[in-house]
């Protein structure tokens, strides 16, 4: 009987272990707790939720809600357990965190196909079937080993990312497409969002007083060494942004034939979607403040944020360079990366990566074709996106409608099509 190593007993690791065990594989699950705790973890049990007790919306018109429904259809043990220990949370799936972790731990420990090893893994054996699911706070020694395998420049220890918006929500009357000084291979790689002096003044006033997230003790100043938050830069002086992130030099607004007072540039995230990154706008503002402040820029007045900027400790790999759409390392097919280490962002997204990687680890060991979820499904769209995103500017991604195939129908219809696809794969025995 094949054995599989799973490293990490967080949400992704627990899900992967369960999925492999139920398919008849023996799983060696390695978890450093309670021998060693990360700076954010306190609970000795598996599947610990460290930031919130909410797994976000259950609504099918919410991308994360659709993803949870897909996982329910695929017999996700983590979502199934969450449903059993849910607490009142309105439309959100909120859980009793202690009971949630306790029940997940009991399920894993009572499974005869899973052997738990309470030890720190510091080296990855590339010859053995392995799913690495050590999360955004991966232990330093193991992370250094991963860097030696993939390359120092392809692993990120601190996460400083800018917000991403849906192009379709921008006001096209308030932006123009062009490269600075007309340089570049195409007519325009950037969407440019100009501001006049009055608009910049209003933006500047709000960004220097916006509420920010307080970093934890272990998220110290190292996070700012190479990426200064836009609000910190702004506080250095009124003109700092005008000579930096928002500099207009080299750009002419075709509507006025003049150089704008200030310009925010947006850069396309990949060749296959309409998601755009707010260049240089890594920020520590709260999510609500990001939406409020950035919407003061005319082109972004109705912007839909598919992910917000974050600045925190977060270990992850350069996914599009190293993994395929199945979360499998391209150069080392015995190894899959699941959870936030893979470049997905969020609790439910981590669960989906653990489930998807386990399904196809099983297929690989059985010598069968991999199961492929289309980008009509949220689980498939997420894995495809992180595998084809821009590797020169890769940022972790969460579930959102901007990455799911848009056939022009309503979100309700698109959700129903996704559910139908999953049901057909389950019913015909593919999974």
Whether residue 221 is predicted with pLDDT greater than 70 in this model: the reply is no
Half-sphere exposure of 284 (CA within 13 A, CB side): 23
- pLDDT tens for each residue of 36-46: 777 666 778 99
- pLDDT tens for each residue of 19-74: 999 999 999 999 998 887 776 667 789 999 876 778 999 999 999 999 999 999 99
Rounded Cα distance between 327 and 418, Å, is: 20
CB 135 within 8 A of CB 340: yes
Rounded Cα distance between 104 and 138, Å, is: 21
Residues paired with 30 in a beta bridge = 7, 117
Residue at which a domain ends, from 254, 285, 308: 308
User: Measuring CA to CA, which residue among 274, 285, 280, 310 is closest to residue 170?
Assistant: 274
Q: Got the DSSP string for 284-297?
A: -B-HHHHHHHHTTS
Residues 259 and 327 in one domain: no
Residue at which a domain ends, from 308, 336, 356: 308
b/e per residue 54-69 (b: at least 16 CB within 10 A)? ebbbbbbebbbbbbbb
Rounded Cα distance between 103 and 45, Å, is: 9
Whether residue 225 is predicted with pLDDT greater than 50 in this model: the reply is no
Whether residue 345 is predicted with pLDDT greater than 50 in this model: the reply is yes
- pLDDT tens for each residue of 292-321: 999 999 999 999 999 899 877 788 999 999
Q: Work out the average pLDDT over 197-220.
A: 86
Residues 295 and 331 in one domain: no
pLDDT in the model for residue 364:
97
Whether residue 371 is predicted with pLDDT greater than 50 in this model: the reply is yes
pLDDT in the model for residue 105:
97
Q: Please count the structural domains in the chain.
A: 2
Residues 296 and 342 in one domain: no
Residues 151 and 13 in one domain: yes
Q: Which domain holds residue 46?
A: 3-159+313-427
Q: Work out the average pLDDT over 250-263.
A: 95
Residues 7 and 155 in one domain: yes
Q: Work out the average pLDDT over 404-420.
A: 96
What are the tokens at 200?
A: 């910049």
| Cis bond before residue 162 (omega within 30° of 0) | no
- pLDDT tens for each residue of 134-170: 998 888 899 999 999 999 888 887 777 889 999 999 9
pLDDT in the model for residue 82:
96
Q: What angle do CA 91, 92, 95 make, to 5 degrees?
A: 135
Whether residue 421 is predicted with pLDDT greater than 60 in this model: the reply is yes
User: Measuring CA to CA, which residue among 281, 263, 252 is closest to residue 194?
Assistant: 263
CATH number for the domain spanning 387: value is: 3.50.50.60
What are the tokens at 212?
A: 């920010």
């Amino acid at each position: 009987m094949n054995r599989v190593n799973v490293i990490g007993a967080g949400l992704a690791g627990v899900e992967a272990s369960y999925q492999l065990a139920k398919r008849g594989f023996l799983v060696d699950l390695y978890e450093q707790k309670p021998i060693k705790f990360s700076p954010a973890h306190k609970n000795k049990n598996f599947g610990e939720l460290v930031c919130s007790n909410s797994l976000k919306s259950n609504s099918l018109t919410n991308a994360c809600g659709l993803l949870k429904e897909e996982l329910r259809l695929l017999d996700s043990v983590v979502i199934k357990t969450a449903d059993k220990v849910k607490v009142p949370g309105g439309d959100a799936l909120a859980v009793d965190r202690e009971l949630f972790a306790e029940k997940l731990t009991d399920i894993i420990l009572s499974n005869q196909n899973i052997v738990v090893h309470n030890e720190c893994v510091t080296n990855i054996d590339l010859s053995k079937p392995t799913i690495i699911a050590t999360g955004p706070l991966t232990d330093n020694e193991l992370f250094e080993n991963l860097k030696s395998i993939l390359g120092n420049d392809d692993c990120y220890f601190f996460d400083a990312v800018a917000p991403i918006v849906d192009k379709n929500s921008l006001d096209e009357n308030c932006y123009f497409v062009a490269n600075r000084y007309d340089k570049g291979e195409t007519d325009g790689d950037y969407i440019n969002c100009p501001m006049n002096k009055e608009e910049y003044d209003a933006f500047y006033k709000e960004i220097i007083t916006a509420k920010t997230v307080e970093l934890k003790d272990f998220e110290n100043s190292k996070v700012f060494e190479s990426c200064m938050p836009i609000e910190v830069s702004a506080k250095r002086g009124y003109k700092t942004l005008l000579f930096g992130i928002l500099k207009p030099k080299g750009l002419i607004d075709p509507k006025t034939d003049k150089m704008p007072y200030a310009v925010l540039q947006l850069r396309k995230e990949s060749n296959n979607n309409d998601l755009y990154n707010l260049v240089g706008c890594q920020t520590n503002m709260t999510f609500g403040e990001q939406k409020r402040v950035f919407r003061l820029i005319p082109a972004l007045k109705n912007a839909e944020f598919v992910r917000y900027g974050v600045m925190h400790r977060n270990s992850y790999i350069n996914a599009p360079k190293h993994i395929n759409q199945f979360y499998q390392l391209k150069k080392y097919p015995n190894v899959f990366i699941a959870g936030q280490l893979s470049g997905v962002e969020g609790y439910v997204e981590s669960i989906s990566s653990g489930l998807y990687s386990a399904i196809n680890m099983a297929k690989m060991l059985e010598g069968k074709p991999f199961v492929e979820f289309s980008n009509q499904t949220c689980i498939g769209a997420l894995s495809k996106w992180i595998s084809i995103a821009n590797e020169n500017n890769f940022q972790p991604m969460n579930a959102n409608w901007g990455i799911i195939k848009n056939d022009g129908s309503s979100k309700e219809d698109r959700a129903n099509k996704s559910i139908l696809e999953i049901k057909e794969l389950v019913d015909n025995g593919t999974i």
